[in-house]
Chains A and B, each alone.
Chain A
Amino acid sequence: EADIYQTPRYLVIGTGKKITLECSQTMGHDKMYWYQQDPGMELHLIHYSYGVNSTEKGDLSSESTVSRIRTEHFPLTLESARPSHTSQYLCASSVSSYNSPLHFGNGTRLTVT
């Protein structure tokens, strides 16, 4: 069973602040992903990484940025938070083959006031 951790679990922050959502996994998975989940439940891929120093934007345009300096760590940063960024952010990881299931963290619920 994959261990993948997201912090913080909940975050309420004012407009204009810079924030970083942390995601770490201990399984040595090459692939990592960030999904944004609307209040209406839909999941949208916003960033993914196939390995160290590899990051790509997902299907949904996002003002956030990511980095992958270490295999186990895939943080997401918002330089200037806005109310439109209010959402749940889910991090996931998987082994390299495309038929591998994703293992998800518990998510970070972000509220920007």
Chain B
Amino acid sequence: AQKVTQAQTEISVVEKEDVTLDCVYETRDTTYYLFWYKQPPSGELVFLIRRNSFDEQNEISGRYSWNFQKSTSSFNFTITASQVVDSAVYFCALSSGYAGNKLTFGGGTRVLVKP
């Protein structure tokens, strides 16, 4: 069975601090995709990034960066210099052929950025 674990349920920081969200996954497939989604208070989930299992190159996009380490089955997400607008719930997710291509979500991490 595939599984995604986000050990942190809530993180509270002061504006301009960096925030790192942890994600650990389990799958039997050798080919799979990992995603991060953001859910602001308005409710809809917004796609942030996708990574395939063969691409361990880490990426930086503006204030966001991702660290994919296949050896530890982790796909961590960092917000640099956080802003109040970053306050949201962040979900890590996994898709693989073994699970019939359905997306499995982690439990989510609520990030609260205080001014």
Taking Cβ atoms with an 8 Å cutoff, the residues of A that contact B are 33, 35, 40-43, 45, 48, 58-59, 88, 90, 92, 98-99, 101-107, 109
Contacts and interface: CB of A to CB of B under 8 A. Distances in A.
Given A43-B91, A105-B44, 20 more contacts: A33-B102, A35-B105, A40-B107, A41-B107, A41-B108, A41-B110, A45-B102, A45-B103, A48-B102, A59-B102, A90-B45, A99-B33, A99-B50, A99-B52, A102-B45, A102-B103, A104-B46, A106-B42, A106-B43, A107-B44
A29 to B, nearest CB: 13
Contacts of A106: 42-44
Nearest to B97: A98
B35 interface: yes
A43 B44 CA distance: 12
Contacts of B95: 98-99
Interface in B69-115: 89, 91, 95-97, 101-105, 107-108, 110
Contacts of A43: 91, 105, 108
Query: Number of contact residues on B: which range applies?
Result: 20 to 34
B102 A58 contact: yes
B103 A88 contact: no
Contacts, number: 53
Contacts of B52: 99
Interface of B: 33, 35, 37, 42-47, 50, 52, 89, 91, 95-97, 101-105, 107-108, 110
A101 B91 contact: no
A56 to B, nearest CB: 8
A101 B86 CA distance: 21
| Closest 8 A/B residue pairs (Cβ) | A98-B101, A101-B47, A41-B108, A104-B45, A43-B105, A99-B33, A107-B43, A106-B44
A33 B50 CA distance: 19
Which of B45, B46, B104 has the largest count of A CB atoms less than 10 A from its CB?
A: B45
Nearest to A102: B103
A48 to B, nearest CB: 6
